[in-house]
């Protein structure tokens, strides 16, 4: 019991994933990009089921960035259709497994049908207590900080808050996923080493794991590999390694 508690404490509480490389994976197989997006859905399924088995508190998956609207119209259209189809086909299973689904991002740009599907899926799973699965769609880290800033500015405008009293904690409470721990581990597939405007505030101290495999190749084993790498990192939060060791010895 003692050992399994210690092990659970070492696991990341919040894992964020930039699911990249669908297009290149499809191209390497001589197929159209959309083939890669469709195959990417099974990697999402495997990831969610493995994270749930490990009792990870939250997984946040970057599905569509605020910049992805710049892609060719037909690819954006196909991604939206896929999003609706997957929401409809997977939501019952997520609910049955006690998982909570949330979509983070600026949802106002989605068509009405998709917004309705999202609201229904979120409502159905709202009271579930298992792993929280956040899907970032039309999400941008800068948008997130901006919308938090606007909420605080409103409070200043109505006289409920003094500008000089704004704290980092208040911003943390107004960015998305304020009820969840900050991201401990960020994973990005496909060999790219950048954040691409994913969470900025919530990833301030995340460990970052960049791997060469394309997203459709991601599975339980690759997730475990990333988590094992994370457990072996020494997280210092600005302290020296000696201070962290002393703290561990004191506990």
Nearer to ligand IPE, 75 or 182 (CB): 75
Window 149-188: residues binding ligand IPE (CB under 6 A): none
* Residue 86: CB minimum distance to ligand IPE, A: 12
Q: Give the separation between CA 199 and CA 65, rounded to whole angstroms.
A: 11
Q: Count Cβ atoms within 10 A of the Cβ of residue 218 and give its class: 0-12 exposed, 13-18 middle, 19 or more buried.
A: buried
Q: Give the separation between CA 81 and CA 237, rounded to whole angstroms.
A: 42
Q: Does 20 bind ligand IPE (CB under 6 A)?
A: yes
- E-strand ranges in the chain read 14-18, 58-65, 100-104, 132-139, 185-188, 207-210
Nearer to Mg ion, 125 or 222 (CB): 222
Q: Count Cβ atoms within 10 A of the Cβ of residue 14 and give its class: 0-12 exposed, 13-18 middle, 19 or more buried.
A: buried
Q: Does 12 bind ligand IPE (CB under 6 A)?
A: no
Q: Is position 134 annotated as part of the catalytic site?
A: no
Q: Is position 98 annotated as part of the catalytic site?
A: no
Window 38-67: residues binding ligand IPE (CB under 6 A): 62-65
* Residue 203: CB minimum distance to ligand IPE, A: 14
17 phi and psi, to 5 degrees?
-130, 125
- E-strand ranges in 116-169 read 132-139
217 phi and psi, to 5 degrees?
-90, -5
Give the binding range for ligand IPE (CB under 6 A) out of 12-20, 46-54, 161-169, 171-179. 12-20
Question: How many residues comprise the chain?
Answer: 251
* Residue 244: CB minimum distance to ligand IPE, A: 33
Nearer to Mg ion, 198 or 230 (CB): 198
Residue 102 near residue 122, CB atoms below 8 Å: yes
Select the binding partner of residue 64 from Mg ion, ligand IPE, none (C-beta < 5 to 8 A, by kind).
ligand IPE
Q: Give the separation between CA 202 and CA 139, rounded to whole angstroms.
A: 13
Annotated binding site for Mg(2+): 20, 207
Binding site residues, ligand IPE, CB under 6 A: 18-24, 62-65, 68, 79, 190, 192, 194, 196, 215
Annotated binding site for substrate: 21-25, 33, 37, 65-67, 69, 71, 188, 194-196
Annotated binding site: 20-25, 33, 37, 65-67, 69, 71, 188, 194-196, 207
């Amino acid at each position: 019991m003692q050992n399994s508690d210690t092990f659970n404490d070492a696991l990341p509480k919040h894992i964020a994933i930039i699911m990249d490389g669908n297009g290149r994976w499809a191209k390497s197989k001589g197929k159209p990009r959309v083939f890669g997006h469709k195959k990417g859905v099974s990697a999402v399924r495997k990831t969610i089921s493995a994270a749930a088995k490990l009792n990870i508190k939250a997984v946040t998956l970057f599905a569509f960035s605020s910049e992805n609207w710049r892609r060719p119209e037909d690819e954006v259209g196909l991604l939206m259709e896929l999003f609706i189809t997957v929401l409809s086909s997977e939501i019952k299973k997520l609910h049955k497994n006690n998982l909570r689904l949330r979509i983070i991002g600026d949802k106002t740009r989605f068509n009405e049908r998709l917004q309705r599907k999202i609201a229904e899926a979120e409502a159905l799973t709202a009271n579930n207590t298992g792993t929280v699965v956040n899907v970032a769609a039309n999400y941008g880290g800068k948008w997130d900080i901006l919308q938090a800033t606007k909420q605080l500015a409103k409070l200043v405008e109505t006289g409920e808050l003094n500008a000089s009293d704004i704290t980092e904690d208040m911003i943390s409470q107004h960015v998305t996923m304020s009820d969840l721990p900050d991201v401990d581990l960020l994973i990005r597939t496909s060999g790219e080493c950048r954040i691409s405007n994913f969470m900025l505030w919530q990833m301030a101290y995340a460990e970052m794991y960049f791997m060469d495999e394309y997203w459709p190749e991601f599975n339980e084993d690759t997730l475990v590999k990333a988590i094992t790498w994370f457990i072996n990192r020494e997280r210092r939060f600005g302290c020296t390694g000696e201070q962290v060791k002393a703290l561990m010895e004191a506990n």
